[in-house]
Amino acid sequence: MVAQTSGNLFGAIATSSPVSTFFRKASTVAVPSGVATTSPIQTNNFWGNLTLGDQTSYVYTHPYAVWMSTLSKFKGLAVSDQDASQRVFGSDNSEKAASYFYMPAGNKCVVLGSSDFEKGMSIKMANLAKLSAEVKLQSAKAGYLSCHLVQGMGFISGVYYDLIPEVHSGIGIKSVSGATSPRTGTNKYTIVLNDGRVWSMYVNFTDNQTCSFALKDNYHIIGSNSINNCSIQLARDKFSSYDSAAGCFPTAVTLKASVSGSTGTYSFNYTTQGSSNKGTSLIYALPHQIESFTSSTSSKKTAATLLDTVHGEMTGYLTNVFEMSESLPTSIGIDPWSSISGWSKPSYTTDEMSKIKAAALIDAAADVYTASNSDSMYFSGKVLDKYAYVLYVLYYVVKDESASKAFLKKMKTAIERFSNNKQTYPLCYETNWKGICSTGGMADGDTSLDYGNAFYNDHHFHYGYHIHAAALTAVVDKALGGSWYKDIKDWVNTMVRDVANPNESDTYFPVFRSFDWFIGHSFAHGITVYADGKDEESSSEDYNFSYAMKIWAQVIGDTNMEDRANLMLAISKRSIGTYMLYNQSNTVMPSKFIGNFVSGIKFENKIDHTTYFGTNVEYIHGIHMLPITPVSSFIRTPEFVKEEWETGPLANLVGSVDSGWKGILYLNSALYKPTLAYQFFISGFQDKWLDDGLTKTWALAYSAGVRQ
């Protein structure tokens, strides 16, 4: 496997076997034959569909969609790229915006194939890495086609080994014509499809080989003879920059990063094959990347642009390095924090302190051990975390040491049920794909139990709550002279490794299971096939994991882990603030959709303004809010929250909500108008308006703490 990270920032957390409390168990989902299993396999990654089921579902490399086509006469690696006019929008919803939109992914615009595949074709997956993978399509009687998948690649490139090349189109081919060759050893063709759209084809020869191409029929372009170690590259449209890059394509990516003070720099460093006039390939960049490019990368911009599936317009760059810079949230810790202009630090009046203390003493009387005794890692984590915030308030806000010590004991006992793996459904180390999974639903394949944790769904959501609860409890314990964090360190670190292992020398977990460094946020979906690609429903529980990792890193003194967490948060702010949270000035997302203010469920090929658990408006908006933490205001800016509340549906909706979502909506309003939130929680408040992951104690402490 090609190295994906380098530098101290990505040093391994640990390389030892997961602690023995996680017993070993194999998933009912087997790894398909032909998928290389020498290293842990990515479960939530962009190329995941090619390792699942019959391995024919779509993979989104952005801007292209690719898949293995097994249809007779169209066998090979199929490619789709669509225009804005082909977007499909759902009817307007109650928020007067399109209820969903997607790109039709199944159009076989072009297919890299071979006449030899008609005698039989099989797939192998090799060189599986976080940011790349190699697809090998093997002929039954001849050679094979090798295609490297890399996010942002400008060409779909295939290297032919002892095959007669053939390019198909399910749309139909109007014409294919030779064009001026950009360089010696490369032949260029222009393909016009029946829908009028144009594709460019480059054929790159080695060892003085030749092969001419002609239209076989309305759907196939056939090569005159077998070729070996020669490549064909296909790209949508006919930009001049394609000529500069033809002959060179990326095969792998190394992620590098460094931190200096509150500035983080990270880069994608592309390993390439072949050569070109420019000495580089062409890589398409997403809008959020372009905003953060350093000058060295910005200068490589071309006129090539293609529309992505759900991320707006991508722009081509002639470069082998994408370098980006971000401002890190280094000032955010465990105290209430706000990005409201003029706010500096939390402070409380005597009256506020009295109300917070009264609420804290009531919440501290809870039986945390029983309350957290759930068959769900998700819900138990939420309960533990909400009470960890109560412990924080008792010690740091109320400053009641006696009450803090008593409640600390309760918290440690409750958390130790999980660190000792004695919960209803214990966690195991799953040995097929390699990771820490719930055993709930694993034996009978029930993906609905605990949101499919056993199948690698939502690990960053679930474990983020547990990690933060343990971290905040350990903070108070250390302040009181304890060293309890040492007892739970291996357990917490193992959860961090499962979700965000930073280094391939840790051979027990894939690198960064959840976080997609190219897209800029995590994906929640695991090892079941989704035709629209990986997805995520809760942006807030995504960055809650990074925040939890940051606080835990402070507890154990791991500055590299803290830097990584800060960098992930900074990237998430930019990405989520572009593709999932919509200021009404957003020009990246479709104008028909930004009136929803939030994405709902974001797939790689579709955004659906709904949730997996219901269509209520408060659900759709609230799942992108909870939990409200010190880092919330960093991602959910006051400007966005104000628009969502006042221009969007929330101000008119909140009065009719009579559930725990009401408390979530009002605490979220503290991100732009803290007094509104604080008054709600002190005036006629009812406990039924508390979400199961929220206490009145934290709601008062946060909303009062960020008031100016």
Burial degree of 299 (CB within 10 A; 0-12, 13-18, 19+): exposed
List the 606-608 sheet strands across, edge first: 88-89, 100-102, 606-608, 601-603, 535-536
Taking alpha carbons only, the member of 554, 60, 509, 546 closest to residue 308 is 60
Residue for token pair 């006051």: 638
Q: Enter the tokens of residue 685.
A: 């408040």
* Residues contacting residue 427 through CB under 8 Å, at least 6 positions apart: 22, 377, 421, 436, 437, 438, 439
Q: Enter the tokens of residue 473.
A: 């409890």
Active site residue 537: yes
Active site residue 458: yes
Q: Which of 363, 430, 450, 537 is catalytic?
A: 537
Q: Enter the tokens of residue 678.
A: 């604080």
- In degrees, to the nearest 5, what angle opens at C-alpha 618 toward C-alphas 614 and 621? 95
Q: Which of 166, 323, 385, 458 is catalytic?
A: 458
List the 121-129 sheet strands across, edge first: 121-129, 132-139, 144-150, 156-163, 227-236, 198-204, 186-193, 173-179
What is the DSSP pairing of strand 427-430 with strand 23-25? Answer: parallel
Residue 608 and residue 600 in contact, taking contact as beta carbons nearer than 8 Å: yes
Q: Which of 477, 504, 536, 541 is catalytic?
A: 541
Q: How far is CA 425 from CA 428, 439, 442, 647, in A?
A: 9, 6, 10, 44
Q: Is the peptide bond before 63 cis (omega within 30 degrees of 0)?
A: yes
What 3-state class would DSSP assign to 494? Answer: helix
Taking alpha carbons only, the member of 220, 254, 239 closest to residue 284 is 239
Euclidean distance between CA atoms 538 and 288, whole angstroms: 19
- Euclidean distance between the first and final Cα of the chain, in Å? 52
Euclidean distance between CA atoms 124 and 146, whole angstroms: 9
How does DSSP assign 596-648, residue by residue? Answer: GSB-SEEESSEEESS-SS---HHHHHHTTTPSP-TTHHHHS-HHHHHIIIIIS
Residue 636 and residue 581 in contact, taking contact as beta carbons nearer than 8 Å: yes
Active site residue 516: no
What 3-state class would DSSP assign to 481? Answer: coil
Residue 267 and residue 292 in contact, taking contact as beta carbons nearer than 8 Å: no
Catalytic residue numbers read 458, 537, 541
